A and B are shown apart, each in its own frame.
Chain A
Amino acid sequence: MFGNFDFQAIVRGWHALIFEGLAFTLEVTFLAMIGGTILGTVFAMMRLSSTKPLAWFAGAYVNLLRSVPLVMVIFWFYFMAPYIGAWIIGAERPVQVGAFASALITFILFEACYYCEIMRAGIQSIPAGQANAGYALGFSYWQLMRLVILPQAFRNMLPVLLTQTIVLFQDVSLVYIISLPDFVTIASKIAQRDNRLVEMYLFVAVVYFALCLALSYVVRRLRARLTIIR
């Protein structure tokens, strides 16, 4: 199998792989991380809200999405999005939602569930006395969250949020199902065209491994730095 390993196959293909495939994957990862964290934080506040319907809705949403395989969600959302979009804006015909937008929205909606649970734990880890102190100074709920609770929760949870982002980074490869040009998809196209499966997938694995290793190193450094604060 390794007998005719052709290193040249990688040399020929790496430019497209990195600057198209990997760039795409990183872009989706980054945007989904930002969107997912924001949406997840909103869901976390809803889950912890004393307004029962809000808490119920967020809880149901999180538990439902977490029980469905991501690849199914990507697939179904891709086919449903034009109809959902039409329903939201009240259009007659299905609206055009590109594969990229569809995938990005899916990742944001899906990852928000995980970021929600992380942020929920983060918010709950802040002692109740902090909220009392904020309220006693005259803060509104939103000021309390924005100025006191969320900055601390976010800081405490940063390592876990980034660990979840590593998972997200790996999950982005699932967009092959709707034929988006992510890192793995491009690699497999080249692999089939040149009949160089081993070389391509080995290269992909090495890059994934290196990036995840680098990110976990960052996470570990952060963990060490952030623990001094309190």
Chain B
Amino acid sequence: MEKDEKTGEKAPPMILLDKVGKFYGNFRVLSECSTQVAKGEVVVVCGPSGSGKSTLIKCVNGLEPFQEGEILVNGVSVGAASTDLPKLRSHVGMVFQNFELFPHMTILENLTIAQTKVIKRDKAEAEQRAAELLHRVGLHIHATRYPGQLSGGQQQRVAIARALAMDPICMLFDEPTSALDPEMISEVLDVMTELAQDGMTMMCVTHEMGFAKRVAHRVAFIDQGQIVEDVSKDEFFDHPRSERAAQFLSRILHH
């Protein structure tokens, strides 16, 4: 992974959401969601269940269509009909709550398939990259196994490696630890923390407030499809402005 040197200059944001609105039929899921993620920045998105966090993050790489507003990823409009979505997605990594490794492929194949089929790397190069990343997440000895033979925490680390194998310009996480047993959460968060420290641009939906405190630059709080708070990490934890965010925090921190 190349490190992004932080320059002091104001660069255009890697991810920009401008007044995004979305409906499922007549039901409004998102309204006027605006936020941005600068290059090298880590933004944690949190909020109560059903508030629209997954929907929002899936809009960012066009897995869900949206009806209002605009989303730009590295300057490319996600909603525009002319956008080559597969190409855009190929350099936006995404990690899911349920890992979603391909169960009929070995771990190594999971990491090489998109490299060879989407960005047309040759097999040797793809396997080399896969091996590097498996080393990095500490799972190289499992390369020939199938996902079903790995623990949840191991599967999620493979899923992160699979996304990184495409050399993404930013990473999206949708509750990457909430399907895990407690003792496996930290091994995944450690990988994510390291990634953040290496300068990866990250948008993470998570309820792991320890992780947010450690690595996030900003926190966006969503409630009922609206971003009600979008502030620096310290401000969010020390002085939440909205009552709903304060309530959410007290509930999540005190149990």
Contact = CB atoms under 8 A, between A and B. Distances in A.
B103 A147 contact: no
Interface string A102-140: 000000000000000000000000010110111111111
Nearest to B115: A137
Given A151-B104, A230-B103, A137 B89 contact: yes
B222 interface: no
A230 B98 CA distance: 14
B63 A136 contact: yes
A127 B98 contact: yes
A133 B117 contact: no
Interface in B45-73: 58, 61, 63
Contact of A137 (B58, B103, B118, B148): B118
Interface string B85-114: 111011111101010111110000000011
Interface in B135-162: 146, 148, 162
A138 B169 CA distance: 14
Nearest to B119: A138
Interface residues of B, number: 29
B117 A147 contact: yes
B90 A138 contact: yes
A138 B96 CA distance: 15
A215 B189 CA distance: 50
A152 B96 contact: no
Given A137-B114, A139-B118, A148 B102 contact: yes
B89 A138 contact: yes
B126 interface: no
Contacts of A229: 103-104, 146, 148
B166 interface: yes
A137 to B, nearest CB: 4
A134 B98 CA distance: 14
Given A138-B87, A138-B166, A229-B146, A132 B104 contact: no
Given A132-B63, A136-B93, A230-B103, 17 more contacts: A127-B100, A129-B98, A130-B100, A130-B102, A132-B94, A133-B102, A134-B102, A135-B85, A135-B89, A136-B63, A136-B89, A137-B162, A137-B163, A138-B87, A138-B166, A139-B114, A152-B104
Interface of B: 58, 61, 63, 85-87, 89-94, 96, 98, 100-104, 113-114, 117-119, 146, 148, 162-163, 166
17 contacts: A129-B96, A133-B94, A134-B102, A135-B63, A135-B85, A135-B89, A136-B63, A137-B89, A137-B90, A137-B114, A138-B119, A139-B114, A143-B118, A152-B102, A155-B104, A230-B103, A230-B148
